[in-house]
């Protein structure tokens, strides 16, 4: 059954989710207060880089299933389901999720709803947020006929459309059968494809999101610490990761050693879960340590680069390939580059960088970097090359050209893109992660 869906917030989660729901045949309106963003979307200009998103949006706009507006009330009035997909950044000072935008959206939705409506928290929110959203809605409109649900997203930047359409699971937290029936119908196109639809209580669904991200962040931090041990004892972290990852109780994903995790989810979600645990008198000490170790690791990577460059980068040019926190996105939020590059600059280096998509987002955050038009321009006359984000195009560099372009044949590969023995045979002084050097 075709449903009318409203998505409050047209950022990463709201836009991808809205476009995918429209592709299922639902009638979707995406709302955002940013007039420039809405005007751009109407012209087909995406506010984020996500592979395939521009085509998906264009197809559904042309079919009349996807529209964009800054007017919340008309979009909410006749919707069967209204998603809240606004930002929940870390609050300054205490690390809690800032729910200002969630609560303001709830107030405005409460004033605009007409008839039975399911209001769904799609934003990542701490346990109990749905209770407060429910209270705000009813305060704004005591006669409102609404149910509040939680439907956390599990989209990976760079593969979000595939994740939405072929999910590992769909988690929906509800407190009544009417909401369950509506959400079941909304997701029916996926449910028929045997995607597990997991219904829980609302608070359980809220916690599932944080627990999932904290567990994945813990896996990353664990393998990074094992990588350090490998370097001390003469082992190879990639072989260790394969050896433990073949155990299906562990799994191979998120066992890739590197410079630490970043992005829009893991850092803020681990912080928020830590604060929630403390508030409820149930500290999650493993996650507390994950947060601490991850921040220290980013700075340790800068020290690694300095050591590989002879112990002093003052007056040297360091080429950095990749600035976004991961490939296939332009997202700079909490990217390791935001800690590593300033540390190199503080040590006296000039940093020249290239990223296929993230340079415009990086410029205001890293204003002193020399931004290059391509990888080889960044590398030209550099005293060392650092691979910081594993974009596919950095996996197949012309190594002969790289060597002839560098002032010194020093490569610090923070993603283990290349093989140490091969790089040594080509005459590079190569430093990877998690192998004795």
Specify whether the CB–CB gap between 148 and 136 falls below 8 A: no
Contact 81, 6 (CB under 8 A): yes
pLDDT at site 195: 77
Does the annotation place 209 within a ligand binding site? yes
> Known binder of ligand: residue 232?
no
* Residue 326 assigned ligand-binding role: yes
Number of residues in the chain? 437
Q: How far apart are CA 253 and CA 220, in angstroms?
A: 9
What sign does the dihedral 100-19-262-201 (CA atoms) show? positive
Asked if 157 and 331 count as a contact pair (C-beta separation under 8 A), the reply is yes
Smallest CA-to-CA distance from 115 within 162, 79, 62, 74 is with: 79
Residue 42 annotated in ligand binding:
no
CA atoms of 118 and 95, how far apart (whole Å): 30
Task: For the chain, 437 residues long, give each residue's pLDDT as a single digit of tens.
Answer: 899 999 999 999 999 999 999 999 999 999 999 999 999 999 999 999 999 999 999 999 999 999 999 999 999 999 999 999 999 888 877 778 899 999 999 999 999 999 999 999 998 899 999 999 999 999 999 999 999 999 999 999 999 999 999 999 999 999 999 999 999 999 999 877 677 899 999 999 999 999 999 999 999 999 999 999 999 999 999 999 999 999 999 999 999 999 999 998 899 999 999 999 999 999 999 999 999 999 999 999 999 999 999 999 999 999 999 999 999 999 999 999 999 999 999 999 999 999 999 999 999 999 999 999 999 999 999 999 999 999 999 999 999 999 999 999 999 999 999 999 999 999 999 999 998 66
Confidence at residue 282, expressed as pLDDT on a 0 to 100 scale = 96
Per-residue model confidence (pLDDT) at position 437: 60
Rounded to the nearest 5 degrees, what angle is found at the Cα of 288, between the Cα atoms of 155 and 103? 55
Does 157 show up as a binding residue in the annotation? yes
pLDDT digits (tens, 9 = 90+) for 406-415: 999 999 999 9
CA distances from 380 to 122, 348, 374 (A): 45, 19, 10
Q: Are 160 and 57 spatial neighbours (Cβ–Cβ below 8 Å)?
A: no
Whether 4-200 and 214-431 share one fold: the answer is yes
For the stretch 258-284, pLDDT in tens is 999 999 889 999 999 999 999 999 999
Tell whether residue 88 is among the known ligand binding residues: yes
215 marked as binding residue = no
Strands 27-31 and 66-69: parallel
Q: Any binding-site annotation on 254?
A: yes
Fold of 214-431: Rossmann fold (3.40.50)
Residue tagged active-site, from 20, 30, 230, 265: 265
How many Å apart are CA 210 and CA 213, to the nearest integer? 5
CA gap 62, 46 in Å, rounded: 15
The C-alpha atoms of residue 264 and residue 275 are separated, in whole angstroms, by 18
Domain boundaries, the chain: 4-200, 214-431
262 annotated as ligand-binding: yes
Is 30 considered catalytic here? Answer: no
Placement of tokens 């200002």 in the chain: 100
Pick the CATH number of 4-200 from 3.40.50.720, 3.40.470.10, 3.65.10.10, 3.90.550.10: 3.40.50.720
pLDDT, residue 97, reads 84
- What six digits make up the tokens of 12? 């990463």
Which letter does DSSP use for residue 156 in this model?
Answer: P
> How do residues 65-114 score in pLDDT, each as one tens digit?
999 999 999 999 999 999 999 998 888 777 788 999 999 999 999 999 99
In this prediction, residue 197 carries a pLDDT of: 92
According to the annotation, is 96 in a ligand binding site? Answer: no
């Amino acid at each position: 059954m075709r449903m009318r869906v409203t998505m409050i917030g047209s950022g990463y989660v709201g836009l991808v989710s809205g476009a995918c729901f429209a592709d299922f045949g639902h009638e979707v309106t995406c709302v955002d207060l940013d007039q420039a963003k809405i005007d751009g979307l109407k012209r087909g200009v995406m506010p984020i880089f996500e592979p395939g998103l521009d085509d998906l949006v264009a197809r559904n706009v042309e079919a009349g299933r996807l529209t964009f507006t800054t007017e919340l009330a008309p979009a909410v009035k006749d919707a069967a389901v209204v998603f809240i997909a606004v930002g929940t950044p870390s609050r300054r000072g205490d690390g809690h999720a800032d729910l200002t935008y969630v609560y303001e959206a709830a107030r405005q939705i409460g004033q605009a709803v007409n008839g039975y409506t399911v209001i769904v928290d799609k934003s990542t929110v701490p346990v109990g947020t749905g209770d407060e959203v429910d209270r705000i809605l009813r305060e704004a409109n005591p006669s409102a006929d609404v149910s509040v649900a939680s439907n956390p997203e599990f989209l990976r930047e760079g593969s979000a459309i595939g994740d939405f359409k072929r999910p590992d699971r769909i988690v929906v937290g509800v407190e009544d059968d009417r909401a369950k029936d509506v959400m079941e119908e909304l997701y029916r196109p996926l449910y028929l494809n045997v995607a597990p639809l997991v219904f829980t209580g609302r608070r359980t669904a809220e916690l599932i999101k944080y627990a999932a991200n904290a567990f994945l962040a813990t896996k990353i931090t664990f393998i990074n610490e094992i990588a350090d041990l490998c370097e001390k004892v003469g082992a190879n972290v990639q072989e260790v990761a394969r050896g433990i990852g073949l155990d299906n109780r562990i799994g191979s994903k998120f066992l890739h050693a590197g410079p630490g995790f970043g992005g829009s989810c893991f850092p803020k979600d681990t912080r928020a879960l830590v604060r929630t645990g403390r508030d409820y008198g149930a500290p999650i000490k493993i996650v507390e340590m994950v947060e601490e170790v991850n921040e220290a690791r980013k700075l340790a990577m800068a020290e690694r680069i300095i050591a590989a460059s002879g112990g002093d980068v003052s007056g040297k040019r360091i080429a950095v390939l990749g600035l976004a926190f991961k490939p296939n996105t332009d997202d700079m939020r909490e990217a390791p580059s935001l800690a590593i590059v300033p540390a190199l600059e503080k040590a006296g280096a000039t940093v020249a960088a290239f990223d296929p998509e993230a340079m415009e987002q990086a410029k205001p955050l890293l204003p002193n970097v020399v931004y290059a038009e391509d990888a080889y321009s960044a590398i030209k006359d550099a005293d060392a090359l650092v691979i910081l984000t594993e974009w596919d195009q950095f996996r197949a560099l012309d190594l002969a050209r790289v060597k002839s372009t560098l002032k010194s044949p020093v490569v610090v590969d923070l993603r283990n893109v290349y093989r140490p023995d091969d790089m040594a045979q080509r005459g590079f002084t190569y430093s990877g992660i998690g192998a004795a050097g």
